[in-house]
Structure 1
Amino acid sequence: MGTMNLKMLLESKELERCPFPIPVGWFHVDFSENLKVGEIRNVQLFGQEWVLFRTESGKPGMSDPYCPHLGAHMGHGGKVCGEHLRCPFHHWEYDTSGWCKSIPYAKVMPPVVKKQAILRTLPMVEKYGMLWAWYHPQCEPPGFELPYIPEIEDATGYAGARRGSWTANTCIQEIAENGVDTAHLKFLHGAPGIPPVDASYDGPIMKLDIGKGYIVGTAYGPGLNVMRFNQHGITATMISYSVPISLEKTQMNMSFRHVDYAEGTPELHASKKVIDHMIGAAEGEESAGFESVDFVVWNNKKYRPNPLLCDGDGPVLQFRKWFKQFYPGQEDSTKI
């Protein structure tokens, strides 16, 4: 017997559940209809609290809670005044970009307010009937744009109001890694086989082809994934938009859409069955949906930075290398 690899046997003691910061990207905050004009709400996302508001003209804003003046929490007693968020303490006002626009009693504004934003705010866009925020730990501007998704942007041609939301007690990278780990589909979900997976990477975009065209997906950073399931002559679409609540908690959100086939057609029946199958709700199905089985794994696993992989595994290491770009300053870290 040769020398034993003790490092491998003892590494488990050193493992962490979620050894990553909040990643950079566009993330879903809420559905547009849920934020009314003039409304202010405190939300917990990206490892901290934020003040979410909508100006009188309808522009969404999301800011750090604490006023740069004396630290009052603007989500408790603050007010939307026109296009500004007003602090309850001394009525300093800020726009959605974090620039101080009014100090009602100041004869001379502090010089810094003419030079830069003094309140941290997140860039926001409204798209797909949703509010999206760009998160970057060093406040850098958006590095890519959200894509056109016909299934949820076109006025006609698509149907399906089904959507779901689940909370997983793990970091967003662990959930995203499922996309390339096709071997678990057979063993955890009970799928009949292990489909081959091809992954290609282009900047913040990852393209997946699972089962040679069976499932074709595109990820746009960590916060948006569009998966098209091509079966029975139809295509059904799962739009996934997970968001990190904290370092160890992720809100998974999904919308399901299909072509607007006429009532009673076999295509409509097939489309609905494929969507049922995506979440493991189809009658007579042998395989289990992620809701019933993945959470048992996610909520209890630890992250192995040096996984022992075999020839049947998907491109896990390539995926981790791609994902690393969303952790600025972590490029030299060994934790991929």
Structure 2
Amino acid sequence: MRRFRKIGASDLPPPFPNGWYCILESSALGPGEVQSVSCLGEQFVVYRTKSHEVYVLDAYCPHMGVNMGIGGRVVGDNIECPFHQWSFRGSDGKCVNIPYSSCVPDNSRVRKWMTKEVNDNIFIWYHSEEHNIPWELPVVEEIENKELVFLGRNEFYVNCHIQEIPENGADMAHFAAIHNVNFLAGGINANKSNFAKTGTHHWKATWTSSKSTAKHIALISLTHSLELIPKVHIFEMDVIGHQIGPSYVQLHLKSKTFGNIEILQTVTPIEPLVQKVVHRFYARRKIAPIMKLFVCAESIMFERDMVMWNHKIFRNKPHLVKEDSSIKAFRNWYSQFYSENSKTFIDVRNNLGW
């Protein structure tokens, strides 16, 4: 159905901006395991050695074109093709062994992707300019040292351009429009629910680009409370969100009642207008029961945005009022992740026969 949707193709920016992308959660890849991952217009083979090192290579063997992520075997630091047992080194993608041949062609290699495993996610550096130097991915120390533990996740597939999702954080007016209604009213047609008047979420939000030298980081500051009856507020918390590049958000929640909570959002383009969005939740183990409510509430709020994203078109030149200044600022900031060499949507559309 997406082929028949009026998506405003001529207005769309490139579908895959430059930056770090999560292609797999760490828990999905044990020692000696291999995964095939399709995203960003590429096919990857991702594997972990027995010494826990993670490598990401182009999936297709240069010999006969087999996808090494399907049935490939980890041998030391190498991935072995299941078809003819050609073996490729994880550190540089070079073929190092052909069991039935006395020599290995010097030019026999697959592309090796720059990889980082941090905060329980496996990221690759994707950039249209091959030798561009990547920025560092911030580490959440409380996650790395297990002070905060993993307590839940959700996963969504959204039909929109990737820019629509992070832009939501800079769209201040939408909070009152769709997120004030109590989460118990659900994600779709919330205003028609019997729970719509059982409480009101209150939000105060600001969005700014980073004042530091880290130009790839933007900040969103939120205060939240749920008003059950007039002047009776619960779930009061402060939220600082770090938008890191085009596809990764670290949300730091502080609550006097529940302590510190971390939510990590990753957005991965599966194809030009399909985004995989995952939220992972971390907190102290003692609040595990209440975290089920947090995961539920956040998922419902996200579904309300999905209703909009799944059916809207991208406006390259939207009609804005002065109160929409943060949207304009966001677009200026986000534009740094596109470059002249990026794949254009028109190219991708033509390749897909749209």
TM range (shorter): 0.7 to 0.9
Instruction: Indicate conservation of the 8 Å contact 1:236/1:274, yes or no.
Output: no
Q: Is the counterpart of residue 147 in structure 1 residue 172 in structure 2? A: no
Q: Is the counterpart of residue 294 in structure 1 residue 305 in structure 2? A: yes
One-letter amino acid matched to 2:217: I
One-letter amino acid matched to 1:307: P
Change (3 A) 1:160 1:48: closer
> What is the percent sequence identity of the aligned residues?
30
Question: What's the CA shift for 1:122?
Answer: 1.8
Question: What's the CA shift for 1:55?
Answer: 2.7
Change (3 A) 1:273 1:312: farther
Instruction: Indicate conservation of the 8 Å contact 1:18/1:170, yes or no.
Output: no
TM-score by length of 1: 0.77
Aligned partners of 1:91 and 1:262: how far apart in 2? 49
One-letter amino acid matched to 1:249: V
Change (3 A) 1:310 1:210: farther
Question: What's the CA shift for 1:225?
Answer: 0.9
Aligned partners of 1:52 and 1:79: how far apart in 2? 11
In structure 2, the partner of 1:208 is 220
Instruction: Indicate conservation of the 8 Å contact 1:226/1:239, yes or no.
Output: yes
- Matches of residues 92-107 of structure 1 in structure 2 within 5 Å? 92-96=86-90, 97-107=92-102
Instruction: Indicate conservation of the 8 Å contact 2:96/2:104, yes or no.
Output: no
Q: Is the counterpart of residue 257 in structure 1 residue 266 in structure 2? A: no
In structure 1, the partner of 2:273 is 248
Equivalent of 1:323 in 334, 337, 347? 334
| SS of corresponding position for 1:279 | helix
Aligned partners of 1:241 and 1:224: how far apart in 2? 5
Q: Is the counterpart of residue 197 in structure 1 residue 206 in structure 2? A: yes
Q: Is the counterpart of residue 304 in structure 1 residue 306 in structure 2? A: no
Equivalent of 1:167 in 152, 157, 162? 157
Change (3 A) 1:82 1:232: closer
Question: What's the CA shift for 1:186?
Answer: 0.6
Aligned partners of 2:97 and 2:159: how far apart in 1? 42
In structure 1, the partner of 2:195 is none
Q: Deviations over 1:133-173 (max 9, x none)?
A: 222244446511211213322233x3550221111112321
Aligned partners of 1:322 and 1:77: how far apart in 2? 42
- The CA RMSD measured in Å over matched residues stands at 3.4
Aligned partners of 1:72 and 1:274: how far apart in 2? 45
- Matches of residues 1-336 of structure 1 in structure 2 within 5 Å? 15-16=8-9, 18-96=12-90, 97-112=92-107, 118-140=109-131, 143-156=134-147, 158-159=148-149, 161-190=151-180, 195-201=204-210, 202-210=214-222, 214-232=238-256, 234-258=259-283, 260=284, 272=291, 275=294, 279=298, 289-291=301-303, 293-329=304-340
For these two proteins, the number of residue pairs brought into alignment is 303
Question: What's the CA shift for 1:54?
Answer: 2.2
Aligned partners of 1:132 and 1:183: how far apart in 2? 32
Q: Deviations over 1:12-34 (max 9, x none)?
A: x8823854231222222223232
Question: What's the CA shift for 1:300?
Answer: 1.0
One-letter amino acid matched to 2:146: A
Instruction: Indicate conservation of the 8 Å contact 2:47/2:74, yes or no.
Output: yes
| SS of corresponding position for 1:242 | strand
TM-score by length of 2: 0.73
One-letter amino acid matched to 2:272: L
Question: What's the CA shift for 1:175?
Answer: 0.4
Instruction: Indicate conservation of the 8 Å contact 1:182/1:314, yes or no.
Output: no
Question: What's the CA shift for 1:57?
Answer: 3.0
Instruction: Indicate conservation of the 8 Å contact 1:92/1:102, yes or no.
Output: yes
The structure where strand makes up a greater share of residues is 2
Change (3 A) 1:56 1:228: closer
Aligned partners of 1:66 and 1:38: how far apart in 2? 19
Unpaired segments ≥5 residues, structure 1: 1-12, 282-288
Aligned partners of 1:276 and 1:87: how far apart in 2? 40
Unpaired segments ≥5 residues, structure 2: 1-5, 182-200, 225-236, 345-354
- Higher relative CO (CA 8 A, sep ≥ 6), structure 1 or 2? 2
Worse overlay, 205-214 or 164-173? 205-214
Instruction: Indicate conservation of the 8 Å contact 2:266/2:279, yes or no.
Output: yes
Change (3 A) 1:89 1:255: closer
Aligned partners of 2:31 and 2:267: how far apart in 1? 25
Question: What's the CA shift for 1:108?
Answer: 4.8
Aligned partners of 2:73 and 2:102: how far apart in 1? 23
One-letter amino acid matched to 1:222: P
